[in-house]
Amino acid sequence: MIDQFITILDGLNIVFAIFFSVLINVFINVLGVIPSFFITAGNLFYFGFWGGTLISFIGESIGALVAFFLYRKGLKKQRQKWSTHNKLKLLVDSSGKEAFLLILLLRVIPYVPSALVTLAASVSKISWTSFFIASSVGKIPAVVMEALTVYGLKELMPSIKFLLIILSVGLLVPIIKSIIRYHFKKE
């Protein structure tokens, strides 16, 4: 699948290749069941590590926003039903800063399905701008980790590995502290 994607990109000029990659990523985000791994891999092989990572990030961010709008429009009447689901109740019933932090945290945590976060956020009270910012910032570590997985962590210099670890911890610690503080303040 990666080879076919790269073959398609090879047949396009650079601007159309970028546009096509972002468009495919948006489509995958709206569907919510196909992993974007092969798009990220194709982007890295075709555009290089940093260019491919950036294009994948842009596609993931725009894709999440488009999916958010479509899910919100389609599930407008389903909010009540979703708020009874134990695992999604916290996000569905949240708004403002709490919803922002929850989305940010859920995006940063590996292996939380992106479509599920977008779906739950779409029936919550969060504004689209807050969703977009929280989702995009939270996707940075996820896309970088995916890119590093594809590219091969051992190909990078030890100093870059160390910098990425420090950056990830630096992002996670304040988010987790805020959520814990907020949670215990409510009780």
Sequence ranges of the domains in the chain: 2-186
pLDDT at 51: 94
State the SS3 of 90-140: HHHCCCHHHHHHHHHHHHHCCCCCHHHHHHHHHCCCCCHHHHHHHHHHHHH
CA distance 100 to 187: 20
pLDDT at 15: 94
Query: Which parts of the chain fold into alpha helices (H)?
Result: 2-10, 14-31, 37-47, 49-74, 79-82, 86-92, 96-108, 114-122, 128-151, 158-186
pTM (predicted TM-score): 0.73
The C-alpha angle with vertex 22 and arms to 13 and 32, in degrees rounded to 5, equals 145
pLDDT at 17: 93
Tens of each residue's pLDDT in the chain, 187 residues:
777 888 888 898 999 999 999 999 999 988 887 878 888 888 998 999 899 999 999 999 999 999 999 988 887 666 555 555 555 666 666 667 777 887 888 888 766 778 888 888 888 888 899 999 999 998 888 888 888 877 775 566 666 666 766 777 777 777 777 766 766 665 5
* pLDDT tens-digit readout, 43-96: 998 999 899 999 999 999 999 999 999 988 887 666 555 555 555 666 666 667
Which secondary structure element, helix H or strand E, spans residue 78, and what is its range?
none
CA distance 120 to 72: 9
